[in-house]
Amino acid sequence: MKSVRILAAAFDHVMHPPRVWVQAGAIGFYGDRADQWCNEGTPSGEDKLAEICRQWENAFNSVVTANTRCVLFRIGFVLGRDGGGLPVLAKLTKWFLGGTVGSGKQYISWIHCLDMNRLFTYAIEQVQMSGAFNATGPQPVTNAEFMRELRRAVHRPWSPPVPAWAVHIGSRLMGTEACLALTGRRCAPKRLQENGFNFKFQVLHEALGEIYR
């Protein structure tokens, strides 16, 4: 949060402040929503992750940037071969550990890294864009669907399901939070589509097929 305020303060001391500020947030803002659709008008959740995201957004929204247009992306699960969470999941899947996680009903709102990169450029160029946007593809899937498509992409026909207790143990060993795998958000990029953005990758098997071709 301090970094946001420091940047905003710095804008007041430069002759030509940036025309647009694009800030990264996260769809964790919505909390665990089961199968409820979440658009940019959906209120924030109440869990720990949602509270962190809400504080981050509040810091961004509270800065005064009179000459700078502000855009905030609530980013979902970015799919790319060289970074983020997908390479970890792919490696586990290749070891036949890519089964359905927990109930498998939790939603994953994903976006291909190429579309995510295009979004940053789009936000800079489209002067009508301001405020919060869900940076997710238009077709989120359940965890069970996601893992099935990932197994297909890396040529693994089957993996045993991963119970919640095993996720908690694995998360501790990997230094991450179990809630990232066991909770979900079904997000719609409503405002992006209203602003004319077209996704190149709308279907999961096509996105994974491009990454693991």
Residue 115 lies in a domain: yes
Q: Where are the beta strands (DSSP E) in 93-208?
A: 107-108, 110-112, 131-135, 141-142, 186-187
Note down the domain range covering 135.
17-211
Residue 9 lies in a domain: no
* pLDDT score recorded for residue 1: 64
CATH code assigned at 68: 3.40.50.720
Residue 10 lies in a domain: no
The rounded mean pLDDT for the chain is 93
Quote the tokens at residue 89. 């999941």
Residue 140 lies in a domain: yes
Residue 8 lies in a domain: no
Residue 40 lies in a domain: yes
Span 186-202, average pLDDT: 98
Does the pLDDT at position 205 exceed 90? yes
* pLDDT score recorded for residue 172: 86
Q: What is the pLDDT of residues 64-81, one digit of tens each?
A: 777 899 999 999 999 999
Does the pLDDT at position 5 exceed 90? no
* Integer Cα distance of 77 and 159 in angstroms: 22
* Integer Cα distance of 186 and 37 in angstroms: 5
Residue 128 lies in a domain: yes
List the one residue out of 75, 74, 76 whose CA is nearest residue 61: 74
Write the Ramachandran bin of 37: left for phi over 0, alpha for psi from -120 to 50, otherwise beta.
Answer: beta
Token look-up 């279907």 returns 203
**Which of 56-60, 139-143, 204-208 bottoms out in mean pLDDT, i.e. has the lowest?**
56-60
- Tally the domains of the chain: 1
